[in-house]
A = this chain, B = another copy of it.
Amino acid sequence: MTVSPVSGAPGSLAAASGEVDAAMERFMDGRTLPLYRMMGYHLGWVDENGEALQARRPVRLRGAMSLLAARALGAGRGPAGSPSGPGKGEAPVALQHAVAVEFIHNYSQMHADVQEGNTERAGRPSVWWTWGPAQAINAGDGMHALARLAVFGLHEHGVAPERVSAALKALDEATLELCEGSYWDTIYQERLSIGVDEYLSMVGAVAGALLGCALRLGGMATGETDHARLESMTTFGVKVGTAIRIAGDHAAFWPAGERDIPVQGRLLAKKKSLPVVHALQDGDLKHKRALGEMYAQRVLDPGDVGKIAAILEDAGSKAYTEAALSKLRDEAESALAAVGLAPERVGDLREAAEFARSA
């Protein structure tokens, strides 16, 4: 596996990500109102004054995996099987689908930052923290509309209206599912006791639906019409997306290296996470009591995280979370196998999923 020196992402993922990023920038080109500058800031392209940033671009995971799915199924390969050049028109459908997915993902992040009061995003002040919540809502709403306009652009490439329309519908359904999940995410934050199944279903909507849609759109971009095959691709994405969030839940308590500050911030804001939900449902009375005492505090402080982690380990919730991750990984693998492609065609997708779950 080729590792990109920049982001640690596998080479094929990093390359696809770069193509998606460049296509997003081309799509925004010429939009000069300050509304778009806020979007560019969120996307990591410019600083708060609109000056270009030299820092490395974030991995566009959802867009890139959408593109890799299209390539696995056949679109976007150059004459000799080489990856197509950026935006050279070999796979404009796949690229625009990927752009749309990324815009949805980023609009949703901007709104989530307002909703959760996140003052930071990717190591910089978040949009709402910089321009206020009203403008962050605007920038998010605008990007929500842009996502779709990116897909409409396909008409100019001669794509049949029914394909454009089907792609838009898939995108809107995933977006609505994301909103439904976000509703529960907010509700669960205030509720002490929720079930593991409820939690996993919420994560599936909030973190899984859009990646599932990304992979489906990759398939649709190739003209794939086999329903079962598209469903398998979607399930693969949903499982990987769900695992990304659960892996984050795990890493918040038991990080591979330093504890990540934003992740810890989520914990301190008492955001639910799978190990805690599990312990409160299935732990012994003493674990429930100990956790109840911790979470009954008005605020958690960083020192509490270690104490909570110890209770969770004792309650078997660390092991439970690891088993859940393992199951999600198996389910993703089975779904990918069910797509029915030769293993070498889905190698890039498998690598990308591995990276996403561990990043």
Q: B-contacting residues of A (Cβ < 8 Å)?
A: 33-35, 108, 111, 114-116, 132-135, 137-142, 144-146, 148-149, 152, 155, 160-162, 164-165, 168-169, 172-173, 175-176, 179-180, 182-183, 186-187
Q: List 26 A-B contacts (CB under 8 A).
A: A33-B180, A35-B179, A108-B141, A111-B137, A111-B141, A114-B133, A115-B138, A133-B133, A135-B186, A138-B179, A139-B179, A140-B141, A141-B144, A142-B179, A145-B176, A145-B179, A148-B148, A148-B168, A149-B173, A149-B176, A152-B169, A152-B172, A155-B165, A164-B165, A165-B165, A165-B168
Given A115-B133, A182-B138, A186-B138: A145 and B35 within 8 A (CB)?
no
CB distance from A113 to the nearest CB of B (A): 11
A142 is contacted by which of B35, B138, B180 (Cβ under 8 Å)?
B180
Closest 9 CB pairs of A and B: A115-B134, A142-B179, A161-B162, A161-B161, A145-B176, A35-B183, A145-B175, A161-B165, A148-B172
A155: chain B residues within 8 A (beta carbon)? 165
A137: chain B residues within 8 A (beta carbon)? 111, 114-115, 137
Contact A149 B133 (CB under 8 A): no
Contact B142 A176 (CB under 8 A): yes
Contact A179 B141 (CB under 8 A): yes
A180 is contacted by which of B35, B114, B183 (Cβ under 8 Å)?
B35
A108: chain B residues within 8 A (beta carbon)? 141
The chain B residue sitting closest to A169, CB to CB, is B152
A115: chain B residues within 8 A (beta carbon)? 133-134, 137-138
CB distance from A28 to the nearest CB of B (A): 12
A139: chain B residues within 8 A (beta carbon)? 179, 183
CB distance from A162 to the nearest CB of B (A): 4
Given A114-B133, A165-B161: A146 and B176 within 8 A (CB)?
yes
A146: chain B residues within 8 A (beta carbon)? 176
A135: chain B residues within 8 A (beta carbon)? 183, 186
A180: chain B residues within 8 A (beta carbon)? 33, 35, 142
A140: chain B residues within 8 A (beta carbon)? 141
- Besides the known contacts A33-B180, A111-B141, A145-B172, 19 further A-B residue pairs in the complex with CB atoms under 8 A apart: A114-B134, A114-B137, A115-B133, A115-B134, A115-B137, A138-B182, A141-B144, A141-B179, A142-B176, A145-B176, A148-B148, A148-B168, A149-B172, A152-B165, A152-B168, A152-B169, A155-B165, A160-B161, A165-B168
The chain B residue sitting closest to A117, CB to CB, is B134
A148: chain B residues within 8 A (beta carbon)? 148, 168, 172
A161 to B164 CA separation, bound complex (whole angstroms): 8
A114: chain B residues within 8 A (beta carbon)? 133-134, 137
A322 to B132 CA separation, bound complex (whole angstroms): 35
CB distance from A223 to the nearest CB of B (A): 15
Given A133-B115, A161-B161: A141 and B175 within 8 A (CB)?
yes
A179 to B33 CA separation, bound complex (whole angstroms): 11
The chain B residue sitting closest to A36, CB to CB, is B180
A133 to B180 CA separation, bound complex (whole angstroms): 15
A134 to B112 CA separation, bound complex (whole angstroms): 8
